[in-house]
Structure 1
Amino acid sequence: MAESPMVGARVPQDWQQQIQAIANASGRKEEAEVVREALAQYLGKTDLGSVKGEIADLQDRVSSLERKLIGLGQLVG
């Protein structure tokens, strides 16, 4: 199997922090996944199936958070 070529770039510290935060919030294992996805979007190489899956996952997470907030509201109110 051929290896993927390595592409590197220096970025400002605040970009790196944002990339790390996105990786953590989205459950990605590493910053490189976030950077690859950003490049794919920029180059128009985004897999629509993957995007739809990500959206569905985010919708599930939002629904879960909404249910938890309702539960907390009932405890408080």
Structure 2
Amino acid sequence: MAESPMVGARVPQEWQQQIQEIAAAAGRKEAEVVREAIAQYLGQTDPSSVKGAIASLEDRVASLERKFAGLGRLVG
């Protein structure tokens, strides 16, 4: 990706906060979130990247569910 051109834009503060939150929740970089949003807008979404993102989120949810179950045993 080093040879890709740089594109910049100013966005409202609220958008930046949403981008940061989405990136943090997905364990991705903000730039990845922005690129994916632009790709979706342009109809250029790579199905393999979407599948990879879904798989990553599924793994994170499963991990959180295991942790939550462990906390439930400690509390209850």
Instruction: Please indicate the TM-score interval, normalised by the length of the shorter structure.
Output: 0.7 to 0.9
SS at match of 2:74: helix
Normalising by structure 2, we get a TM-score of 0.84
Give me the whole-angstrom Cα distance separating, in 2, the residues matched to 1:5 and 1:65: 37
Partner of 1:19: 19
Q: 1:65 to 1:14 in 2, by over 3 A?
A: same
Report the counterpart of residue 47 of structure 1 in structure 2. Answer: 46
SS in 2 for 1:28: coil
Matched residue count: 75
Q: In the alignment, does 2:72 pair up with 1:73? A: yes
Structure 2: stretches of 5+ with no match in the other structure: none
Residue segments in structure 1 that go unaligned for 5+ positions in a row: none
Amino acid in structure 2 at the alignment position of 1:38: A
Structure possessing the higher radius of gyration over alpha carbons:
1
Instruction: Point out the more displaced range, 20-29 or 60-69.
Output: 20-29
Report the alpha carbon displacement of residue 68 of structure 1 after superposing the two structures with TM.
1.0
> What RMSD over aligned residues (CA atoms) do the two structures have, in Å?
1.7
State the secondary structure of the residue aligned to 2:8: coil
The ranges of structure 1 where at least 4 consecutive aligned residues each deviate by more than 4 angstroms after the TM superposition are: none
Percent identity reads 80
Q: CA deviation at 1:56?
A: 1.1
